[in-house]
Amino acid sequence: AQTVTQSQPEMSVQEAETVTLSCTYDTSESDYYLFWYKQPPSRQMILVIRQEAYKQQNATENRFSVNFQKAAKSFSLKISDSQLGDAAMYFCAYRSATGANSKLTFGKGITLSVRP
Amino acid sequence: GAGVSQSPSNKVTEKGKDVELRCDPISGHTALYWYRQSLGQGLEFLIYFQGNSAPDKSGLPSDRFSAERTGGSVSTLTIQRTQQEDSAVYLCASSLVGGLAKNIQYFGAGTRLSVL
C-alpha cells in the first residue's frame, strides 16, 4: 500500500517570503500522480498543483512550484512571495495511475500561517 | 457549472441515530468519491463510484456505513446507529474519467458531523 508522509505539522512564513513544505511517499509503482491541495477554513479542498511521475520537469503554477525527486520519493511544494491568503492547511496526495480505483492517499497535512 | 455541492453543511445528531449525507457532483463527472477527515486519522478514502460499475467500498470502516449513487449523479452516504467516533468532516469529490483532466478530483466543502 502507498503511504504519504508530511512530517511538519506546522510552519510559518513572513509575508512576501518563500516557504517550502515537505512531503515524502512510499510506493512500489512506477506510474502515478502527486498533488498538493490547499484547505482553507471553509473546508473546501482546492488543487494547488499536480505532477505526473513520468515527467522529469517540475510542475509550476504561478507562485507555486514543486521539487519532485522520484528516486528519493520526495515531493516538496515551494510557495514564493507568500500572501496572507496562502494561510491554510496543505495536503500532499498520491494517486496510482493504474488500477480501477483512482482514490487519493493523503498525508496528515501541514498548517501554514503567514505573518503580516 | 457549479462545483461539488454537499448538504447539510453541518449535522449534529445523537448517538444511535441514523444520518444521511448528500453529495451533488459536478455535472458530467462520472467518478465520485467519499472521504472522511478526522483529527486522529487524517483524510481517509471511504468509497468510490464510477459510472455503472460496482462501487469500490474497500474504505468503509464498518457495515454501519453505506452509500448509493442514483442515476449516476447524486450520492448519499448513510451512517446507521451513529457512534461518537463517527464525528468527522465527510468530503465528497468528483472527477472526469478519461482525457487530460481525468486525474483531478474536485471537492465539496464537506459535511461536519457531530455525534453527541
Cβ contact, residue pair A33, B103, below 8 Å:
yes
Percentage of residues in chain A having pLDDT higher than 90: 85
**CB within 8 Å of chain A, chain B residues 54-93:** 56, 58-59, 89, 91, 93
Cβ contact, residue pair A43, B31, below 8 Å:
no
Partner residue facing A104 (CB), from B45, B50, B108: B45
Q: pLDDT by residue (tens digit) across B18-65?
A: 999 999 999 989 899 999 999 877 899 999 999 888 899 999 999 999
Q: What distances in angstroms separate CA B54 from CA B40, B47, B51, B84, one per listed residue? A: 30, 11, 9, 30
Cβ contact, residue pair B109, A97, below 8 Å:
no
Q: pLDDT by residue (tens digit) across A35-72?
A: 999 999 989 999 999 999 998 899 999 999 999 999 99
Q: pLDDT by residue (tens digit) across A82-109?
A: 999 999 999 999 999 887 778 999 999 9
Residues of A with CB under 8 A from a CB of B: 33, 37, 42-47, 50, 91, 95, 97, 100-109
